[in-house]
Amino acid sequence: MGFWIFMLIMVLLIPVSMIVLGRRFLKSAPHNIDSTFGYRTKRSMMNEDTWRFAHSYIGKLWFICGLIILLPSAAVMLFVLGKEVNTMGTVGAILVFVQMLPMIGTIIPTEKALKKNFDEYGRHR
């Protein structure tokens, strides 16, 4: 049971992080444009406008994706409750990998939105 609880926590880290950070980024971008914390790409770090826009956009995507993947992830872990440790570990690892796809995949629409709304110098179109 202890390993299952550990795996459940590990599996829920990504969706919960997406929900928490998504909500935070929706409300406000990190105060400093630096390479320490936040959505850091060349285009998003051009100026304050691109920084805020990128965080608001990816915050919305992360919040929604986090909510969508939270319950199915927990449900799958309930399905392996009482199974062998190897089964729980394998299922947990697969879930974490699958959860990383939308988390990383949100970079593409965010960069497209930045490109659509700002020119190559970071000025609004």
Q: In angstroms, rounded to a whole number, what is the distance separating the alpha carbons of residues 119 and 92?
A: 42
Mean pLDDT of the residues in the chain = 93
Q: Is the pLDDT score of 102 beyond 80?
A: yes
Q: Is residue 81 part of a domain?
A: yes
Residue 104 has pLDDT above 90, yes or no: yes
The reply to whether 28 falls in a domain is yes
Q: Tell me if 114 sits within 8 A of 88, measured CB to CB.
A: no
Q: Let me know if residue 99 belongs to a domain.
A: yes
Q: Is the pLDDT of residue 49 over 80?
A: yes
Q: Any alpha helices (H) in the chain, and if so which ranges? A: 2-27, 48-79, 85-105, 107-117
Domain count, the chain: 1
Decide if 79 is inside a domain. yes
112 belongs to a structural domain: yes
Does 55 reside within a domain?
A: yes
Residue-wise pLDDT tens digits, 23-38: 999 999 888 888 788 8
Burial of 35 by CB count in 10 Å (0-12 exposed, 13-18 middle, 19+ buried)? exposed
In this prediction, residue 44 carries a pLDDT of 93
Place of tokens 């630096």: 34
The boundaries of the domain holding residue 107 are: 2-117
Contacts of 24 (CB under 8 A, 6+ apart): 59
Q: pLDDT tier at 108 (50, 70, 90 boundaries)?
A: very high
Q: pLDDT by residue (tens digit) across 58-97? A: 999 999 999 999 999 999 999 998 889 999 999 999 999 9
pTM of this structure: 0.89
- State the number of CA atoms in the 13 A half-sphere of 62 facing the CB: 27
Domain-located, residue 37 = yes
- Confirm whether 125 is domain-assigned: no
